[in-house]
């Protein structure tokens, strides 16, 4: 399986709500004012950016043949301060998780807010950072964390993609 926090904007909003105990709207407005959120922030907070990324990971790494229509998508836009504080009081966090997993011979996928505890490898992935956990049949569990979102980070990723495409076309 592949499971991850794949959207820095949503993760930033959830971290703000958790740490500063603010309302969703206040955390979203801060993300917008800092330039963290996309101009169409709904793609971030409604889970579509995460869905696109888990789709690519599943299709490439799990040899799946999924489309966005195959992914059950739920964003963070319906969470409120009470949801966050209730889990904070229990020692948990709510994170927007994208997951692709094997169910028999089929690959299934979803994006949704999930409650995770401090034992979960993604528990300490906060702010604009992202993280992915791979459960493999040969190497066990592998987790990768980092890659904070931002305009310079996005530009670097685009440049890297252009360079790689150029190398492949030669």
Catalytic residues: 53
Kindly provide the b/e burial profile for residues 79-101, where b requires at least 16 CB atoms within 10 angstroms of the residue's own CB. Answer: bebebbeebeeeebbbbbbbbbe
Q: Which stretch of DSSP H or E encloses residue 71?
A: strand 71-73
Phi-psi region of 112 (alpha: psi -120 to 50; beta: other; left: phi over 0): beta
**3-class DSSP state of 145:** strand
């Amino acid at each position: 399986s592949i499971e991850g926090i794949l959207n820095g904007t949503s993760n930033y909003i959830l971290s703000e709500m958790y740490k500063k105990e603010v309302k969703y709207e206040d955390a979203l407005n801060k993300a917008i004012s800092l330039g963290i959120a996309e101009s169409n922030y709904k793609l971030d907070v409604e889970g579509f950016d995460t869905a696109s990324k888990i789709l690519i990971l599943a299709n490439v790494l799990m040899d799946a043949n999924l489309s966005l229509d195959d992914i059950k998508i739920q964003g963070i836009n319906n969470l409120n301060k009470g949801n966050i504080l209730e889990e904070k009081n229990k020692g948990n966090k709510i994170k927007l998780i994208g997951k692709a997993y094997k169910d028999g011979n089929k690959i299934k996928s979803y994006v949704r807010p999930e409650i995770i505890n401090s034992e979960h490898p993604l528990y300490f992935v906060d702010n604009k950072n992202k993280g992915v956990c791979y459960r493999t049949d040969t190497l066990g569990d592998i987790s990768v964390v980092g890659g904070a979102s931002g305009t310079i980070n996005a530009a670097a990723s685009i440049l890297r993609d252009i360079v790689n495409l150029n190398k492949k076309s030669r």
